[in-house]
Amino acid sequence: MKRLLSSMMAALAMVAVAFATPAWAESKGKIYYLVPTLLDEFQTESVSAIEKFLKDVGYEPVTLNADNKTDLQQSQMNDVINLKPKAIVLAAVDFNALQPSIEKARAAGIPVMIFDRQITATASDFTSVAGTVEIGYVAAGEIQRLLKEKNGAVKGKILQVLGDPADPYTLDIQKGFEERMKEFPDAQIISLPAMQWEASNAGTIVADQLIANPDIDLIFVHAAHLAVAAVASLEAKGKKPGDVLLVSSNGAPVGLDLIRKGWEQVEVEQPLYAQAAAIGMFADKVANKQELKPGKYNVLGLESELTIESWGPNLKIPGAAITKDNVDESRFWGNLKAPAEPIKPVE
C-alpha cells in the first residue's frame, strides 16, 4: 500500500512539475534581446513585450541591458555569439559601433533581427521599425482637423518642436508632416530643434515663441516628454488647457496623461507593441533562415509593409492617433498593458 501511495505521489508530483513548467521550457531555443538601456518607459516596456511575444511562438527570451554603454553592448554581442542562440534581437546603443558585431554574428550563422533602431549600413535578417515618415503623415492629418475645427479652415500658426536634428527619427517625422502640409499655405510652420531631446530646451523654445508669436494656434512636439515641458511653459504664461492646441508623438504614458487632463489633443503613437509583435511573428522564419516575402502584413491590427531593402527585410509599421475618445485602450503602449492574446507565427 505504501509503495502504491508513493507511486501515486510521484506521478502527481511529475504532473505538478509539468504544469508548473513554463511553456517555453522545452522551447525552440533561446533568442537574446540586447536592449540599449532601461532608463525610459519605452525600453522597459519593449522588454516585457518582446519577451511575451517570443514566448507566444515557443522561444525562450533572454534580455541583456547595455546601460547605454556601447562597449558593454559590444561585449554582450561577443558573449552571445559564443552561446550560439537561435537568433539575436538588437536595439543598438550606437548604430555604427555595432556593425562589426552584427556581421560577426551572421558569419557565425546566427540571424540578427533589428528592433526599433534601424541599421542600414550592414545587412541583417529582419528589421521591425515604426513608420516615422508615416507618423508625420498621421500628425498632419490630425493637425489639419484640429485647425479646421478651431479656425474654420486649415490655417493658423504652428510651432513645431523637433528633437535633436542629428536623429533621423525626428527628421523623418518632420519630413512626413511638412510634406502633407504643403497644400495648405495658410498654415504657417515655425520649426525649431530641442537639442539632445532635452525637455528643458523644448520648454525654452515654447516660452520664447509665445512672446515672439503670441498668436500660435498649435504646438507640435516630436516626443511626449517635450510636451510636458511645453505645458509648463504654457501654464507659466497663464494659458489654460485648450487655449493653445497641443499634438505630440511617441505615445508615452505622460502624453496620454496630458490628453486626459485636456492639455493635449492628439498623441501619435510609436507602435511599440506592434513592433515587438512583429519580432515574434517572424521569429520562426528568421531562425530557420527561410525567405521572407515582401508585402502587406497585419500586425496587431495595423497594416504594415515588408520590403526587401539593401540591408535586408524591413517591416515598417504605422502609428495610430490617440485622442480623448480612445486614450484608455490597452493597445496603446502608454497604458503599459501588453495585449494578452497570443500571436501566431507568419506562415
Amino acid at 78: N
> Considering Cα of 82, then 84, then 85, then 86, what sign does the dihedral take?
positive
Model pTM? 0.85
C-alpha cell of 173? 517625422
At 194-213, the pLDDT tens digits run 999 999 999 999 999 999 99
Asked whether the predicted pLDDT for residue 2 surpasses 80, the reply is no
> Rounded CA gap, 279 and 183, in Å?
37
In the chain, ranges of CATH 3.40.50.2300 domains: 13-124+271-317, 133-269
List of residues 6+ apart from 198 with CB closer than 8 A: none
The number of residues in the chain equals 347
pLDDT at position 336 is 94
Secondary structure element (H or E) that encloses residue 33, with its range: strand 30-35
At 47-105, the pLDDT tens digits run 999 999 999 999 999 999 999 999 999 999 999 999 999 999 999 999 889 999 999 99
C-alpha cell of 125? 535578417
pLDDT at position 40 is 87
Place of cell 508625420: 136
Topology of the domain covering 133-269: Rossmann fold (3.40.50)
List of residues 6+ apart from 249 with CB closer than 8 A: 135, 139, 173, 221, 222, 223, 224, 267, 268, 269, 270, 319
Span between the terminal Cα atoms of the chain, in Å: 53
Asked whether the predicted pLDDT for residue 265 surpasses 70, the reply is yes
> Rounded CA gap, 22 and 51, in Å?
13
Section 261-272 average pLDDT: 97
At 22-51, the pLDDT tens digits run 444 478 999 999 999 998 899 999 999 999
Section 128-137 average pLDDT: 95
Beta strands in 106-256 (DSSP E): 112-115, 126-130, 156-162, 187-193, 218-221, 245-250
> Rounded CA gap, 88 and 186, in Å?
49
pLDDT at position 319 is 87
Average pLDDT, the chain: 92
Provide CATH code, domain 13-124+271-317.
Answer: 3.40.50.2300
